[in-house]
Structure 1
Amino acid sequence: MEIKGFQLSYCSNIHPGESWEATFENLKKYIPEVKNRLSVDKPFGIGLRLSHEASLILEKANQLSEFRNWLQSENAYVFTLNGFPYGDFHRTTVKDKVHFPDWTTVERRDYTIRSFKILAQLLPEGMDGGISTSPVSYRHWFKSDSDLNVGMETATRHLLEVVGELADIKKQTGKSLHLDIEPEPDGILENSDEMIWLFSDWLLPIGKPWLAKKLNISQEEAEEVLKEHIQVCYDVCHFAIVYEKPADTFAKFEKAGIKIGKIQISAALKALIPTQPETRDIVKLKLLPFEESTYLHQVVARTKDGSLKSYSDLPEALKILNETDEEEWRIHFHVPVFLDNYGALASTQDQISIVLNEILKNPSLTNHLEVETYTWEVLPEDTRLSLGESISRELAWVIKKLN
């Protein structure tokens, strides 16, 4: 839905199901409920999570036509897709497999291009559309700098082939579509510096001459095309985990000429580490229910001198909780955005408020806002509302902040 000139929705990756049938059934169940709870009488935007399996079905003309008819009947539209998880994302062990297949593979390239062709047919006229995607790959899969360089060159070629397709779609339809790369803990791209490095060391040096030749344009024009069609997905949770200040990050992206295609509104779990051993035991007991087997929950710790230390998953960090001199943990566990306190634990909700204030001051930062709390099924019972109520409360909280 449009709020203050921004397109706002929630990401449907909160719903389990990899097939198009399951995806569509969830939309038919929850979109009307959420609209009703929010008393929405204007067009309702959808942030669609589309798996590889579902995309193979939805690209068929009859399925796409049925979905478009349903969107029209519900006064709804699709403006953004989540193309990060390729395969199973619920009720199985996902962990680092969320990155597979990565951008070194043709499977990731082809799935993304297919998804863009679907989005181009769903996107309303006069609106830009985006698909968020993985931060190239999972960094721990690369055992040497040489391995990483080979992987980055292959991934860059695949990303550029997507740009070529998006330039062609724009030429044919007039619609501007962008691939929104999403830095996250333990991705090859974790933070703003690494996102800028992707452009400065890979996309621009390789992409400018390649696109100039392919599109018969100058290298300066090629850079503009590249920066139109590859942007960043700024996930508030992910940037909070690495302790980046939103205003600083936005300024760095602006200086580098990198656009923000989508802001994912999400909160990370946060723990302040007490000095007293008995109080640490309380924190540990509160954290244990968040230790679950579906997703990776990386931890980034901050010490008294401001230095950071990373743990690849919550169990690894919990092993050293009793003896650590760290003062704060930020944990990659998406928790409901409308809660900032969990007793002995907290969330990074304050970072969402800062981000929303920044975009209200500078609306040109992005067009797309998407609430993303995909962990609903694995949240501890005492933090979980009914699904429809939780989605509605999150959107209502954001709407109130924007107004």
Structure 2
Amino acid sequence: MRLHHRDGTVVHLSYCTNVHAAEDLAGIVAQLDTYALPVRLRLGSAVLGLGLWLAAPVAAELAADPAARRWLRTALDERGLEVVTLNGFPYAAFQDPVVKYAVYRPDWTEPQRLRYTVNLATVLADLLPADAARGSISTLPLAWRQPWSPERSDACRRSLGMLARELAALESRTGRLIRIAVEPEPGCVVESTAQAVTELSDVDTRYIGVCLDLAHLACAWEEPAAALGRLRAAGLPVVKTQVSAALESTDPAGDLDALRGYVEPRFLHQTRGWDGLSTDDLPEALGEAARSPWRVHYHVPLHADPVPPLRATTGVLTEALEELVGGSVAGCDHLDVETYTWHVLPPGSRPETPAQLAAGIAAELAWARDRLTDLDLKELPS
């Protein structure tokens, strides 16, 4: 979906396809028919935006084959789908039975991460609609925090420098600007906007900026206005925003039964307490003394309440959207709803059929669209 900001900016709203497991070209197109097309029809939109996730093997295949890129672009066009942003954080196997720490490899100290990201940029340059101002690709926050050293930090800086040069060359060849968005996440080298300012102090900001995931922002207990002010002061652009909500407990000691319902084996659910509690996964937090509110890195559906008495951090989300696009100037134009946890939600909240998942995704997008129109953005006819 596209919306018009009062400053004339076209704001793109999409949903991220990393919730789907397909990792080959045929499977990706099949998931367009199973999920994306029904979502578009439910919303009554002529065109639906996708934040496409391409695993490393299919990204390499597409980058090497212009005909395959044209074929995928045609498949998208025929279904009324468009792509201005890719999710380049998970390298592969993101819906495997166990992901956990594996999602952070390869990191930006390893050449595979640079190669994967350049492949994605090559693909996106050909998928972008002709009238899109630019494309964006979100990526991991350099690396998991351990092990870390000055040498690894230098390796990341060199990789990001090479990336900027590759993107400049791509822009020269194609006329398309593709920007990379480093996504702060709990437990990583870049967990907060303050760490982003430190670690990305010398990047080429024409090509590299920040992906602000609003669930991660909430888990870091950051105030949206202060966080965005910090990025603006440092000259770091918000290239992309992931419209997501985390799980929150105001009384963890009293909410243990409900919290246990969100323990699952696939993803890490880093937990942060107002009092400084910090664990890499929810089960570890459940063994700690609960003295203050918790926020859990568990992306929950935007439009539906979690299992009571738990709640979602949608208050942080709406405050951040107001800061980003509620003023006289749009602070970000790529907004991607990223709820990848549908398949691991507690049984009563989990979709059981493809049609139920498509209905849930459509409801999330409608919820996000309504928050944006509340801020006086206007949905554009397609």
Q: Secondary structure at the match of 2:137?
A: strand
Is the 8 Å Cα contact of residues 300 and 306 (structure 2) preserved in structure 1? no
Q: Which amino acid in the other structure matches residue 326 of structure 2? A: L
Q: Secondary structure at the match of 1:290?
A: coil
| Aligned equivalent of 1:387 | 357
Distance, in Å, in 1 between the alignment partners of 2:205 and 2:150 is 22
Is the 8 Å Cα contact of residues 70 and 126 (structure 2) preserved in structure 1? no
Q: Which runs of 5+ in 1 are unaligned?
A: 143-147, 205-225, 275-279
Pair member with larger Rg: 1
What is the number of residues matched between the two proteins?
A: 361
| Aligned equivalent of 1:315 | 283
Q: 1:130-171 CA distances to partner (integer Å, 9 max, x unpaired)? A: 1000000000233xxxxx211111111111111001111222
Distance, in Å, in 2 between the alignment partners of 1:165 and 1:272 is 46
Alignment partner of 1:253 is 2:219 = no
Which among 222, 243, 263 is matched to residue 291 of structure 1?
263
| Aligned equivalent of 1:90 | 95
What is the CA RMSD across the aligned residues, in angstroms? 1.4
Is the 8 Å Cα contact of residues 272 and 328 (structure 1) preserved in structure 2? yes
Distance, in Å, in 1 between the alignment partners of 2:102 and 2:147 is 11
Is the 8 Å Cα contact of residues 20 and 55 (structure 1) preserved in structure 2? no
Is the 8 Å Cα contact of residues 125 and 175 (structure 1) preserved in structure 2? no
| Aligned equivalent of 2:295 | 330
Q: Which amino acid in the other structure matches residue 2 of structure 2? A: E
Q: Secondary structure at the match of 1:180?
A: strand
Q: Which amino acid in the other structure matches residue 137 of structure 1? A: A
Q: How many Å apart are 1:340 and its aligned residue?
A: 4.0
Q: How many Å apart are 1:362 and its aligned residue?
A: 4.5
Q: Secondary structure at the match of 1:370?
A: strand
Q: How many Å apart are 1:19 and its aligned residue?
A: 2.4
What are the within-5 Å matches in structure 2 for residues 162-311 of structure 1? 162-200=163-201, 203-204=202-203, 226-273=204-251, 280=253, 283-303=255-275, 308-311=276-279
Distance, in Å, in 2 between the alignment partners of 1:264 and 1:125 is 23
Q: 1:266-307 CA distances to partner (integer Å, 9 max, x unpaired)? A: 000001126xxxxx3x5111111211111110000113xxxx
Alignment partner of 1:23 is 2:24 = no
Q: How many Å apart are 1:24 and its aligned residue?
A: 2.1
Distance, in Å, in 2 between the alignment partners of 1:16 and 1:171 is 34
Distance, in Å, in 2 between the alignment partners of 1:257 and 1:302 is 29
Q: Which amino acid in the other structure matches residue 105 of structure 2? A: F
Q: Secondary structure at the match of 1:63?
A: helix
Q: 1:320-342 CA distances to partner (integer Å, 9 max, x unpaired)? A: 2xx43x21000000000113453
Which among 308, 315, 322 is matched to residue 343 of structure 1?
308
Q: Secondary structure at the match of 1:186?
A: coil
Q: Which amino acid in the other structure matches residue 394 of structure 1? A: E
> What is the percentage of aligned positions where both structures have the same residue?
34
| Aligned equivalent of 1:33 | 38
Distance, in Å, in 2 between the alignment partners of 1:360 and 1:26 is 34
Distance, in Å, in 1 between the alignment partners of 2:94 and 2:181 is 19
Q: How many Å apart are 1:62 and its aligned residue?
A: 3.1
Distance, in Å, in 2 between the alignment partners of 1:363 and 1:23 is 36
Is the 8 Å Cα contact of residues 20 and 53 (structure 1) preserved in structure 2? no
Q: Which amino acid in the other structure matches residue 281 of structure 2? A: D
Alignment partner of 1:140 is 2:112 = no
Query: Quick check: 376-385 or 391-400, which moved more?
Result: 376-385
Distance change >3 Å, CA 162–CA 339, structure 1 → 2:
same
Is the 8 Å Cα contact of residues 338 and 349 (structure 1) preserved in structure 2? no
Question: Which one scores higher on RCO, CA 8 angstroms, separation ≥ 6?
Answer: 2
What are the within-5 Å matches in structure 2 for residues 46-125 of structure 1? 46-59=50-63, 60-125=65-130
Is the 8 Å Cα contact of residues 102 and 134 (structure 1) preserved in structure 2? yes
Q: 1:34-93 CA distances to partner (integer Å, 9 max, x unpaired)? A: 11100112x322110011022122232332122111122123221000000001111321
Alignment partner of 1:373 is 2:373 = no
| Aligned equivalent of 1:221 | none
Alignment partner of 1:154 is 2:155 = yes
Q: Which has the higher helix share?
A: 1
Q: Which runs of 5+ in 2 are unaligned?
A: 5-9, 374-382
Q: Secondary structure at the match of 1:3?
A: strand
| Aligned equivalent of 1:400 | 370
Is the 8 Å Cα contact of residues 86 and 98 (structure 1) preserved in structure 2? yes
Q: Secondary structure at the match of 1:342?
A: coil
Q: How many Å apart are 1:185 and its aligned residue?
A: 0.3
Q: 1:346-383 CA distances to partner (integer Å, 9 max, x unpaired)? A: 11011111122221214421110000000111011212
Q: Secondary structure at the match of 1:365?
A: coil
Is the 8 Å Cα contact of residues 299 and 317 (structure 1) preserved in structure 2? yes
